[in-house]
Structure 1
Amino acid sequence: MKILKSIVLLFISTTTFAHLGSIVGKVIDAQTKLPIKGANVSLVGNSRGVITDESGFFQINNLSAAPYKVEVSFMGYVVQNQIVNVKEDEAVTIEFLLKSAEFSLEEVKVSAANPQHQQVISGLDIKLRTINNSQEVLRIIPGLVIGQHAGGGKAEQIFLRGFDIDHGTDIRLTADGVPINMVSQAHGQGYADAHFIIPELIDGVDFKKGLYDADKGNFSTAGWANFRTKKVLEQNFAKIEVGQFNTYRLVGAANILPKKAQEQNQNTYLAGEYNYSDAYFDAPQNFNRLNLLGKYHGHISKNTSLTFTASTFWSKWNASGQIPDRSVESGLIGFFGAIDPNEGGKTSRTNANAEFLTLTKRNHVWKNQIFYSNYNFELFSNFTFFLEDPINGDQIKQAEGRNLWGYNSNYSIAHGLRSKQATLNIGVNYRQDLTQNSELSHTKNRTEILERLKLGNVNEANAGIYIDETIQLSPKLSLTAGFRFDYFNNQYLDKLQNNTTFKAHESIASPKLNLYYTKNNHLQFYLNFGKGFHSNDTRAVVEKSGLEILPAAYGSDLGTIWKPFPKMVINAAYWYLWMNQEFVYVGDAGVVEPSGQSKRSGFDLSMRYQLSKNLFFDADINYAKPRAIGEMEGQNYLPLAVKLTSTGGFTLKSNKGFSGSLRYRYVGDRPANEDNSIVAKGYFVSDALLNYTKNRYSIGLSVQNIFNTKWKETQFATESRLLNEISPVNEIHFTPGTPFNAKLSFSVSF
């Protein structure tokens, strides 16, 4: 902390220059009165400019005394200009109230100032694409593929940048800054269940692929995403959905404070969601999910705002699990059948999250966050059927109760570094996880425990500090350099070994470097370097099995953001990632298997194009070549790691009348084992959405798999034995993807 303090004093000492002035201001949504993050602020006819931060604040320093024309632009808003007279040794304060406008890609500009925090593609997608269900929450990240393989209540399996991320080992997911990933979870490290997010309440998604941000720590090797929910509810709404397979959904939200309070920037709303579905499997899922949320946003002082969110989530379901190819080919069961009809589970999560945002007297921005979650999980699975126990079967139970809390703080200083515009960020993160009775047991029919394999309590703490500095070295060149330090303390109380406590601890330093060359507001090149890590399961690392606690990863991206035409945006990147140790969590055995070093390389290509006033086209193509290091050629494939994926489609966007989309998802064939002798087959699936809106009412039709393609959503190379089989068989086990699935919706706003 002494070092950080010295650095801060050094940077602050360079910010004052005689006879120079500055412009400080805020950009606000005229309707909601909320700050606008990511707006472009530029001095017309001058190379200077900045991007607004989370508080909508901006600051341009070291300006000679003169009049300046300040222009503010942001996607979906009318461009505004103000003339500002800057005086010597003074800071001029201004405010912009932006009004909504028809969305156009012509408005998108590539910024030379602080591009590290500019979210071009994510900003476009959240404006254009309708998030129709909880799975779409994750699919909005370009190149990310998900698969559900144990009923609608279980977290999805995630694939990104040549990773089989399982349920979240190498992507950091948060909701309003609250961690979604669960460390040392009963079903696997990093388990990320995002189903407590109500899709209609999502206001934005910030994401980045790669490990180049100093404020992002554990799990961010392949990338990170933060889902921001609405601070203010523009309109009350109620919505009902009815679909095939006995599917129902009710969702609604309403402001509870009077208009007078809202006019004084005090807002509170309540929201709820209920889901039920039997799904398309032969054995009904009896899937139930309930979400409740309340949020307050307002000013508790002139310069400090408070956002407080409380939510609770509950889900229960049955599952058909993963079935072997041979069981379908022999006619033992159908394509949507089950071997063990007693799979399924239940889970719940209650969250409390308080965020304080302060603009200090020196025009510094200080964000503080305190969060708490109570989490419960119970899952019954059977991956191998009768391989280990030919009489009772191999069903397992994984369960835990968890209390999670933490604190995040970030202090941001916009300043001048000699004659350069710069921004300094300093922050701390703390997270504590305490589990009760983390369990792995061999069970029968969900009711009888045959053998306890694992039972104990996890106590895991992670403290991190970081610093980064963004400097606009020239009108076209900017640099962001960052450094992060993390410390982990792992403890496990083993209740099967006389309540013995095992301990381990480790720390890791992660430097980051990002360079951006912006030729003009239509073309930018970037080069990113960084070191990151993912943590390993506490229960594994305390056993001193040779497994690293914090295996490091090193990555780089070389890319461009390009607008070849006014209404087209292209983002392309070549990337490389090296990992010091891969690991595979074998849930049914309760062990982590290290599998050595690995490397991945590939390219990402995203294109967004506005065909007409209301019609848009988007496409993402992502290729990866993942390989194990030190293994023979042909024996070095990383099982289930995706190689080629593509998503895209057409979107018709209109606030009145007809709107909708036609989208596709493609995943290529990929190796299911190390020598590619077993192949997980790819698929191509298309979905459609059509809405009609008039006044305050809207009716919609959504169809998944419009061509009724038979496809396998998740696949694994698993050794299993069916009842009465003499010897086990190693082959593809899969969960079928949805057939043609239509759903009607009706909503009203008031």
Structure 2
Amino acid sequence: MKQLFTSTQAMWGLLLGLCLTGQFAQAQGTATLRGSVADSLSGQPLAGVSVGLQGQSGGTATDALGNFRLAGVAPGTYTLRVGALGYRGASQAVTLAAGETRAMPFTIAASALSLAEVTVSQPRDPNQSLAAINQIDKVLRPVNSAQDLLRLVPGLFIAQHAGGGKAEQIFLRGFDVDHGTDFAVSVDGLPVNMVSHAHGQGYADFHFVIPETVEQLKVYKGPYTARFGDFVTAGAGEFSTKTRLDDSQVKLEVGRFDTYRALVMLDLLGNNNRHLFSKKPESAYVAAEYNFTNAYFDQPQDFRRFNGLAKYTGQLSDRTSLTLLGSHFTSSWDASGQIPESAVREGIISRFGSIDPTEGGDTDRTNASVVLTTGLPGDAIIRQQLYYSRYNFNLFSNFTFFLNDEENGDEINQTDDRNLYGYTGTYDRDDRLGARNLHTTFGLGTRIDDTDLTLRRAVRRTITDTITAGKVFEQNINAYLDETLTLTDRLTLNAALRADVFVFDFRGIITNDDGNLEPLRGRKTRARVSPKLNLYYQLTPTVQLFARSGYGFHSNDARGVVRGTVNGNALPRAIGYEAGSTFKPLPGVVVNAALWALHLEDELVYVGDEAVVESAGRTRRYGADLSVRYQLTRALFADVDLNYNHGRLVGVAEGQNFIPLAPRFTSVGGLTLKNPQGFSASLRYRHLDSRAANEDNSIRARGYFLFDGVVSYTQSRFQIGATAENLLNVDWNEAQFANPSRLRGQTTPVEEQLHFTPGTPFFIKVNASVLF
């Protein structure tokens, strides 16, 4: 840790010293290329497009307004090339004289996927080494639901155990992330994770996203990126919805187990020049979906979900863009919950049965966001976002059945009534430090959660006693400075420093150790500083090496912080480091590989049925990730992810130091036939290995290996298709936990045994879409 701080301080000293010598002037005798890249059909600017001089090292990418700059170019004749996955590359010859500045606008057209167009360098966002993999997966991997979007993260697995309405349980890099404690999720800049949530710290309910509206996914593994703060220990996922629709669409789906879905997406402006705010390119669309299923359980789930989205994106001027977004989501469900393995073995219930059929709940979320992006003189951009979410959550659960109350049962009710306000602002600037490129990002933000929480006992959804209730006010104020400097034509350094200040405030009542209610009131302020230091070396145009390091943290529940008990550690620190490479051994093959390690100061586990936080103590994890994408022919692709993870509790005796439910080995892969027009198909597998369900490994969570398939037929104005899950109809456990429980009539409880939610049996659904 001291070495990381020393290296970071040295780098900041170097940057400051160079700045003081006034070496920002452009090197004499060089030229500058400026330009922009836009979509040829809509005219909308394209961000993140790779730009470079053919045969030359280095390069850049377009910014948020679609602009680029290549400075310090030696005089001569070059071929300037721009390209992005899913677009046809473009190039143009240019001859530059000393001191010349040349402007070169480009428009590029969408095209079929070609891995030959993928570049492995990421000069504008160097920490996103998975960018090439993410772009490919979004095009190739079938997405059937909102939760399937999370599976696009290489190495990430999910599990549902409450009728489809709760946030999924997440597994990544040797973490049982619970519902989001160590993995941050955002959509169009809106944070998905909920702090001090009624059910779990970092609770990330992603179901308000309509999968067909998602355009891009960016994945960041580890705590190496200064833009992210809370919950980013295992990593972060940024999802972006489409800025425009290629076509309007109506889609219907019908499947087994009374499963139905309807989707409508309407382009409001099209290409007919009916502008709302300006004569510049702009787009607007609305989308809505409705889902219903009774699922495969003996107890019908009666799951219902509605999503609605409206989005406007437009150029107010050549240097200003505006994005407006509003969405609404509501869901209700009944749940069978996880059941004891012994009850199935003894024939008390079937594999798809239920001990307490009154579990379930309802939730809703309404979002509003405005983003203003402005270009400033001197190659600088300011992006500002204001957002608001109104959120409600009402859940009935029963984890232990009749363990504590032999007569009425142990059902609990958790509610969360929340207003979430936030602002994020970033200042980005491209500059020159002597003869080298320097990219500076300064970020500033705040988030306020104003929440009413309750935890109460219930009998068949009738409330009886209160365990805890009160109001949480929690605010995070953050700032960061991120510098990316090209030390040589091949070597890039990224150094950053992030500061977070948290205010935890709780006013309410809790149940004390004697079982009586007592008041709990308090306010505490805590801070965390997180340095980052990353290196990238472009060995060849097709091989990039990287070494990354950084500090991160996950926050504690406000009630635990205010209570100040042994579990009151407000912001447990994490340190991570990794080394690896993204490379292309062949034009049609993209590989990402990394060796990594992560140390967590205090692994906190939220116990929802008691509204307390338990400390697992220090943990240590290391592992290896490998992702390969291979284009075998023009239309046939293969992909595989292999992820090995090893994690242990620190300071605990050998054999008693397993991290419960932490995955050891996971893998996904498949073959995909992708035709923009005509027949397409995909055959995929996913595997999660068996692993320890408790600290001494005496109970094992069972692994699984599943096959899924997708077929579709697409023409210009319609699409038909079918999706099949669990093609071999194997019995598998989705969510699994080791905990004590007692069934009605049992004289003694079972101290600890495996409880599980059964995974989907063979399931098929068909769909039909009309495009217009």
Q: Same fold (TM over 0.5)?
A: yes
Q: 441, 451, 454: which one pairs with 1:439?
A: 454
Residue in structure 1 matched with residue 755 of structure 2 by the alignment: 733
Residue in structure 1 matched with residue 465 of structure 2 by the alignment: 451
Matches of 2:631 and 2:128, distance apart in 1: 24
Shift of 1:102: 2.3
Residue in structure 1 matched with residue 293 of structure 2 by the alignment: 277
Distance 1:715 1:80, change over 3 A: same
Whether 2:168 is the aligned partner of 1:156: answer yes
Q: Is the 8 A contact 2:629 2:640 kept in 1?
A: yes
Residue in structure 2 matched with residue 287 of structure 1 by the alignment: 303
Residue in structure 1 matched with residue 544 of structure 2 by the alignment: 524
SS at structure 1 position matched to 2:161: coil
Distance 1:112 1:284, change over 3 A: closer
Shift of 1:499: 6.2
Amino acid at match of 1:36: L
Q: Is the 8 A contact 2:386 2:424 kept in 1?
A: yes
Whether 2:649 is the aligned partner of 1:600: answer no
Residue in structure 1 matched with residue 377 of structure 2 by the alignment: 361
Residue in structure 1 matched with residue 564 of structure 2 by the alignment: 544
Q: Is the 8 A contact 2:128 2:218 kept in 1?
A: no
Matches of 1:153 and 1:687, distance apart in 2: 22
Which deviations, in whole Å up to 9, do the C-alpha atoms of 1:352-380 show, x marking residues without a partner?
01111111122212111111000000000
SS at structure 2 position matched to 1:430: strand
Identity of aligned residues (%): 44
Residue in structure 2 matched with residue 69 of structure 1 by the alignment: 79
Shift of 1:32: 2.9
Matches of 1:526 and 1:296, distance apart in 2: 38
Q: Is the 8 A contact 1:601 1:624 kept in 2?
A: yes
Matches of 1:264 and 1:532, distance apart in 2: 41
Q: 243, 249, 273: which one pairs with 1:260?
A: 273
Shift of 1:25: 1.8
Whether 2:632 is the aligned partner of 1:620: answer no
Q: Is the 8 A contact 2:706 2:726 kept in 1?
A: yes
Residue in structure 2 matched with residue 591 of structure 1 by the alignment: 612
Distance 1:29 1:727, change over 3 A: same
Q: 16, 25, 42: which one pairs with 2:25?
A: 16
Matches of 1:12 and 1:29, distance apart in 2: 42
Residue in structure 2 matched with residue 180 of structure 1 by the alignment: 192
Amino acid at match of 1:513: L
Residue in structure 2 matched with residue 640 of structure 1 by the alignment: 661
Q: Is the 8 A contact 1:323 1:339 kept in 2?
A: yes
Residue in structure 2 matched with residue 485 of structure 1 by the alignment: 499
Shift of 1:57: 2.2
SS at structure 2 position matched to 1:526: strand
Q: Is the 8 A contact 1:349 1:376 kept in 2?
A: yes
Shift of 1:132: 1.6
Q: Is the 8 A contact 1:112 1:516 kept in 2?
A: no
Matches of 1:304 and 1:79, distance apart in 2: 26
Q: 305, 314, 329: which one pairs with 1:298?
A: 314
Matches of 1:637 and 1:353, distance apart in 2: 43
SS at structure 1 position matched to 2:344: helix
Distance 1:521 1:542, change over 3 A: same
Q: Is the 8 A contact 1:112 1:477 kept in 2?
A: no
SS at structure 1 position matched to 2:274: helix
Which deviations, in whole Å up to 9, do the C-alpha atoms of 1:156-188 show, x marking residues without a partner?
000000000000000010001100000000001
SS at structure 2 position matched to 1:196: coil
Q: 475, 481, 503: which one pairs with 2:489?
A: 475
Which deviations, in whole Å up to 9, do the C-alpha atoms of 1:370-410 show, x marking residues without a partner?
11000000000000000010110000000010000101111
Residue in structure 2 matched with residue 207 of structure 1 by the alignment: 219
Whether 2:198 is the aligned partner of 1:219: answer no
Matches of 1:21 and 1:138, distance apart in 2: 44
Q: Is the 8 A contact 1:315 1:348 kept in 2?
A: yes
Q: Is the 8 A contact 1:518 1:524 kept in 2?
A: yes
Q: Is the 8 A contact 2:19 2:433 kept in 1?
A: no
Q: Is the 8 A contact 1:112 1:476 kept in 2?
A: no
Whether 2:523 is the aligned partner of 1:510: answer no
Residue in structure 1 matched with residue 263 of structure 2 by the alignment: 251
Shift of 1:233: 1.3
Matches of 2:137 and 2:257, distance apart in 1: 30
Q: Which moved more, 1:308-317 or 1:115-124?
A: 115-124
Matches of 2:651 and 2:86, distance apart in 1: 51
SS at structure 1 position matched to 2:563: coil
Q: Is the 8 A contact 1:554 1:579 kept in 2?
A: yes
Q: Is the 8 A contact 1:703 1:740 kept in 2?
A: yes
> TM-score, length-normalised on structure 2?
0.94
Q: Is the 8 A contact 1:112 1:518 kept in 2?
A: no
Matches of 2:148 and 2:736, distance apart in 1: 20
Shift of 1:265: 1.4
Q: Is the 8 A contact 1:112 1:478 kept in 2?
A: no
Residue in structure 1 matched with residue 127 of structure 2 by the alignment: 116
Matches of 1:241 and 1:307, distance apart in 2: 31
Q: Is the 8 A contact 2:735 2:756 kept in 1?
A: yes
Amino acid at match of 1:201: T
Amino acid at match of 2:337: G
Matches of 2:340 and 2:485, distance apart in 1: 56
Amino acid at match of 1:271: A
Whether 2:591 is the aligned partner of 1:570: answer yes
Which deviations, in whole Å up to 9, do the C-alpha atoms of 1:392-445 show, x marking residues without a partner?
000000001000010111111111111111211111121100002x01111011
Matches of 2:55 and 2:109, distance apart in 1: 24
Distance 1:697 1:28, change over 3 A: same
Amino acid at match of 1:106: A
Shift of 1:13: 5.0
Distance 1:469 1:184, change over 3 A: same
Q: Is the 8 A contact 2:379 2:431 kept in 1?
A: no
Distance 1:451 1:37, change over 3 A: same
Residue in structure 1 matched with residue 324 of structure 2 by the alignment: 308
Matches of 1:93 and 1:499, distance apart in 2: 67
Trace 1:291-440 onto structure 2 (pairs within 5 A). Answer: 291-436=307-452, 438-440=453-455
How many correspondences in the alignment?
A: 745
Residue in structure 1 matched with residue 770 of structure 2 by the alignment: 748
Amino acid at match of 1:581: D
Shift of 1:501: 2.7
Which deviations, in whole Å up to 9, do the C-alpha atoms of 1:562-605 show, x marking residues without a partner?
21122111111110000100111111111101121110001011
Which consecutive aligned stretches of 4+ in structure 1 deviate over 6 angstroms post-superposition? Answer: 6-9
Query: What's the C-alpha RMSD, in Å, of the aligned pairs?
Result: 1.9
Residue in structure 1 matched with residue 698 of structure 2 by the alignment: 677
Whether 2:140 is the aligned partner of 1:128: answer yes
> TM-score, length-normalised on structure 1?
0.97
